[in-house]
Chains A and B, each alone.
Chain A
Amino acid sequence: MSIFVDETTKVLVQGLTGSQGKFHGLRNKAYGTQVVAGVTPGKGGQDVEGIPVFDSVAEAVEATGANASFVAVPPKAAPGAILQAAEAGVPFVVCITEGIPAQDEALVFNRIKRDFPGTRLLGPNCPGIISPGKCNIGITPGEIAQGGGPVGIVSRSGTLTYQALYELKQKGIGVTTCVGIGGDPVPGTSFIDCLEAFEKDPETKAVIMFGEIGGSAEEEAAAFIAKEMSKPVVAYVAGVTAPAGKKMGHAGAIISGSKGTAQAKMDALRAAGVKVGLNPTEAGELMAEVVASL
């Protein structure tokens, strides 16, 4: 099994006629993902290499039965595109767009939570999700992912998500699903959402988690792992040597306290029983040990 997406997932691409949407949408299709529609307002009736394009998400859903959306539109248009997918009842929306204003993200997140609780948003500013051999939505290069499980991957940083897949593939370890949640201030899907889903997924036996400095998502994940996770977790946190992020006035210091540094995050994860690697390769090696002992 896998989490969130599998071989039955039918994907529509918002922005399929744009350069990013076309390049990655077609790559997702070439990977074997069911890419059934594109949406670009004003371009309904056209097609992109045989994939029909519709004016709205609602039309695309009605015509094709799409149950996931891949949002690949510029930052100005992305909040509206995400909400359009939610309004059309799409249960899973992946947004790769980088550079959406934080105010818009906070508004979109809370609107979906309140008005469209049936929709899960992944991202924005994330690489997407891949259940190897079944479905790839987003910009993850599919060839670096080995399928079959038993490991689930969740990562906050795009390129580190690929690094995680790559480290496991080098060691011959398969993946059930790899989720890149993105590093923006208000991600639609959190570490905890993914950990919870992996805990419930019978084929996932262990989870590898890649975090980074800033915010408190890793600390919250650590608290969840300590309380709710029975499966082993391996982690890596990027930014041990990176310059400390700018302190955002007094408010930043008041909210985060001592949290936010890579060291604090690693300490919290270790205290929750997580094995922490000091670089991606070491995390891969720790996961190899975990898998060998399963």
Chain B
Amino acid sequence: MDLFEYQGKQYFARFDIPVSAGGVADTVDEAVAQAELAGYPVVVKAQVQVGGRGKAGGIKLADNADEVRTHAGNILGMDIKGHVVKRLWVEHASDIAKEYYASFTLDRAAKLHLGMLSAQGGVEIEQVAEENPEAIARVHIDPVDGLTEEAARTWVAEADLDPEATEGAVDILLKLYRCYVEGDADLAEINPLILTPEGKVHALDAKVTLDDNAAFRHPEWDEFRGLEVRDARETLAAEKGLQYVGLDGEVGIIANGAGLAMSTCDVVNQVGGAPANFLDIGGGASAEVMANALEVINSDEKVKAIFINIFGGITRGEEVANGIVQALDRVDIKAPIVIRLDGTNAEQGREILQPHLSDRLRSKPTMLEAAREAVELAR
């Protein structure tokens, strides 16, 4: 789950990472109230999960209530690369002497945590990474050892931050590492991490991606939910706990396992069709899950045919078949279904489906044949 900036800052605050005083606002009046609390001058910032907010006019400085009114009015409802601004973050403006960059993420190749720190932070960090990679000091951290203060100090020295930033940077990096590990983040990033003229270091932005697999030990994450940006189909799928990504084609796809679901999209494409979605019902999916998946696909007006591609391992064929039969009873499925069923208990599954087979529910023995049939039906 990707957090908005304001949520990221709230999350940072739990780990004592210094952020500017501020608050959220959904209306112009709320923005003014938050500005009064934070103290002028303030920065009014659009809360959208897309880069380039500043260049799009979504971040503005305001010296008084009138300016807050003007900027908040302009920014609320603004469309930034397809993301409509519904919420603002208003915080006390900081004086900036220097902008740095700091982050922790997992280096999948090294199988270790990776910290990155640069004295050249700000909006152009990706360009810095490309053109001047040595300007980013990288440190690999073994999760068994964690990040020690000594290692953080050496790392800060390598990054060549200004000497007066050293203590503040070491302190924030240790806290950010805790936020990343104990906070179960896939990414914890501060860009820019600023040095003020008074020699204070603090986070001016927050980018946090939480690991959904760790939600079971973070009841506090509930407050972040319900605000993610999704289309109607994705919202319905999320309510039903399905891994769904909406696409633009006409062949609805249900498969078990992300790899097979992706491969199913590929094959539909190769035989001349276009997938309407990526939907992975996961391992061990029950009849109920299959019925839910069909309901989600059914809600998509563009779908002209449905391709169910199941290779049972932990998912059992008879469960899949029962789910399809249940769904046919429960909802009026608008598009014809082509199913390919193999693997664990596939024969039992095919027997369950047998009496229900018709022009509306067809069974094909291979993935390619089923894809061709579904694409043909969608035309």
A contacts, CB < 8 Å to B = 20, 24, 75-76, 96, 98-104, 106-107, 109-111, 114, 127, 139-141, 144, 155-163, 166, 183, 185-186, 210, 212-213, 215-217, 220, 236, 238-243, 246, 248-255, 278-281
Contacts and interface: CB of A to CB of B under 8 A. Distances in A.
A162 B312 CA distance: 8
A280 B342 contact: no
Given A213-B262, A216-B108, A255-B105, A159 B311 contact: yes
A109 B113 CA distance: 12
B313 A251 contact: no
A24 B345 CA distance: 12
B25 interface: no
Contacts of B111: 106, 109-110, 186
Given A101-B184, A114-B144, A216 B103 contact: no
B67 to A, nearest CB: 30
Contacts of A110: 111-112, 142-144
Nearest to A24: B314
Given A140-B313, A157-B258, A251-B187, A279 B263 contact: yes
Contacts of B105: 248-249, 251-252, 255
Nearest to A255: B107
16 contacts: A24-B314, A103-B181, A141-B313, A141-B343, A155-B259, A163-B311, A186-B106, A186-B111, A216-B109, A239-B266, A241-B268, A241-B275, A250-B125, A250-B189, A250-B207, A254-B136
Nearest to B185: A103
Contacts of A185: 106, 108
Interface stretch (B11-19, B92-100, B168-176, B211-219): B211-219
A75 B312 contact: no
A127 B103 CA distance: 33
Given A157-B258, A241-B268, 7 more contacts: A103-B181, A162-B342, A166-B342, A238-B259, A238-B262, A243-B278, A251-B187
Contacts of A127: 313-314
Contacts of A96: 314
Chain B contact residues: helix, strand, loop or mixed:
mixed
B342 A160 contact: no
A253 B125 CA distance: 10
A185 B185 CA distance: 13
Contact of B313 (A114, A162, A213, A241): A162
B267 interface: yes
A173 to B, nearest CB: 16
A104 B144 CA distance: 10
A127 B258 CA distance: 13
Contacts of A114: 142, 144
Given A106-B111, A186-B106, A251-B187, A159 B213 contact: no
Nearest to A219: B109
A146 B213 CA distance: 35
A109 B106 CA distance: 13
B242 interface: no
A255 B259 contact: no
A269 to B, nearest CB: 16
A250 B259 contact: no
B282 A159 contact: no
A280 B267 CA distance: 9
B143 A106 contact: yes
User: Nearest 8 A-B pairs (CB), nearest first?
Assistant: A157-B259, A159-B257, A159-B260, A101-B214, A160-B259, A239-B262, A238-B262, A238-B263
Given A243-B247, A249-B187, A254-B126, A183 B213 contact: no
A253 B133 CA distance: 13
Given A114-B144, A212-B262, A98 B186 contact: no
Nearest to A248: B187
B260 A141 contact: no
A166 B311 contact: yes
A12 B199 CA distance: 59
Nearest to B263: A238
Given A160-B259, A246-B2, A280 B367 contact: yes
Contacts of B267: 279
Contacts of A250: 101, 103, 125-126, 129, 189, 191, 207
A251 B259 CA distance: 25
B245 interface: yes
Contact of B255 (A99, A159, A213): A159
A52 to B, nearest CB: 25
Contacts of B265: 239, 241-242
A103 B216 CA distance: 13
Contacts of A210: 259
A248 B184 CA distance: 15
B361 interface: no
A107 B143 contact: yes
B108 A238 contact: no
Contact of B259 (A20, A100, A212, A241): A212
A183 B259 contact: yes
Contacts of A217: 108-109
A241 B269 contact: yes
Given A162-B311, A248-B187, A281-B366, A106 B113 contact: yes
Nearest to A212: B259
B216 A76 contact: yes
A280 B114 CA distance: 35
Contacts of B126: 250, 253-254
A126 to B, nearest CB: 10
A212 B258 contact: yes
B284 interface: yes
A254 B121 CA distance: 13
Nearest to B212: A99
Given A103-B181, A156-B259, A163 B367 contact: yes
B283 interface: yes
B129 A253 contact: yes
